Amino acid sequence: MKNILIVGGAGYIGSHMCKYLANNGYNPIVLDNLVYGHKEAVRWGPLIEGSISDSRLLKQIFSKYQIVAVMHFAAFCYVGESMTAPAKYYRNNVADTINLLEVMVEKNVSSFIFSSSCATYGEPVEIPITEKHPQNPINPYGRTKLMVEQILDDFKNAYGLESVSLRYFNAAGADPDGEIGEDHKPETHLIPLVLQTALGQRKSISIFGDDYPTKDGTCIRDYIHINDLADAHFLALKRLINGLPGGKYNLGNGDGYSVGKVIETACKITGKPIPINIVERRPGDPAVLVGSSKKAAGELGWKPRFPDLYTIIETAWKWHSRYPEGYKA
């Protein structure tokens, strides 16, 4: 069985990837420092507890297992925190990633799949956002993702390291079996917060601004199901294994839903009241972020299987209603 190193495999996206790989005949080997990840989410292969800043550990892992490719999901991803603690973000998301890449080069592992972000584009000048849209990130988090993309270009030229950077729009939903799901502490993402409100764990959901130039005045985002992200990673992996060149791809549905629509849909699914509270806009939030994924469709053969918002929230609800306390329970 082919070994894939999943850095950050105890996290939300990484754990779904592990399940997907195991179901498709691969052995996911997880390296996670468990700062935000959950031990309980690692069920489909070994867990190595440690950090990519530890070159010695990395070398041991590459010596012990014959690793075919590396998928890198480990990053700090709180935009607000990245503004107040940029050093932490540049160190973890950029410097430590360079460390990982250097060891890969030394150990002759040349296939890398990177979790990038639509945050690399910054304020959109055109919707839908294609890969050709200018990349002008407006916060340190987005800059760390863009820097790694650029570093990967340099590593390809210098060392032949081939990579696919996947620019996620809003990752959402959960494993349709309800086995694993989204459990961030602290939670800042809209859908889990809305579902926690439905569960009565929060008094209300704050809507960050209802005076945007959109139909209902709330922000529009492109929500993409976690398993569709896993599909795209798997297609990217096959592309690299087959010796094809890497690339950079948007991963979104190409369809936007407003914050109001998300709450309304969650009300229908949960059958519970979800009180709202309109508050100030959140700094740095563009009115609309919707991506075009035509490139991923054409070159990777990717087609989202769970594109509708109802299914996305329904799968998330399956997890949240089953494990209201998250993995702790």
> Does the annotation mark 141 as catalytic?
yes
Judge if the upstream peptide bond of residue 286 is cis by omega within 30 degrees of 0. no
Nearer to ligand UDP, 82 or 227 (CB): 82
Residues 230-289 contacting ligand UDP, CB under 6 A: 259, 282, 285
The position carrying tokens 């699914």 is 269
Q: x/- site string to ligand UDP, residues 174 to 213, per CB under 6 A?
A: --------------xxx--x-----------xxxx-----
Residues 113-172 contacting ligand UDP, CB under 6 A: 170
Instruction: Supply 189's token pair.
Output: 């993402």
Least distance (Å) from ligand UDP to the CB of residue 221? 5
**Alpha carbons 180 and 177: distance in angstroms, whole number:** 8
Least distance (Å) from ligand UDP to the CB of residue 240? 27
Nearer to ligand UDP, 45 or 260 (CB): 260
Q: What are phi and psi of 136, to 5 degrees?
A: -130, 75
Nearer to ligand UDP, 139 or 163 (CB): 139
Least distance (Å) from ligand UDP to the CB of residue 198? 14
Nearer to ligand UDP, 261 or 318 (CB): 261
Nearer to ligand UDP, 156 or 184 (CB): 184
Mode of pairing for the β-strands spanning 257-258 and 220-221 = antiparallel
**Alpha carbons 276 and 189: distance in angstroms, whole number:** 15
| Binding-residue total with ligand UDP (CB under 6 A) | 14
Of residues 12, 26, 141, 168, which has the active-site annotation?
Answer: 141
Least distance (Å) from ligand UDP to the CB of residue 238? 28
Least distance (Å) from ligand UDP to the CB of residue 173? 12
**Alpha carbons 226 and 316: distance in angstroms, whole number:** 10
Q: x/- site string to ligand UDP, residues 65 to 104, per CB under 6 A?
A: ----------------------------------------
Q: Which residues are catalytic?
A: 141
Task: List interacting residues with ligand UDP (CB under 6 A).
Answer: 170, 188-190, 193, 205-208, 219, 221, 259, 282, 285
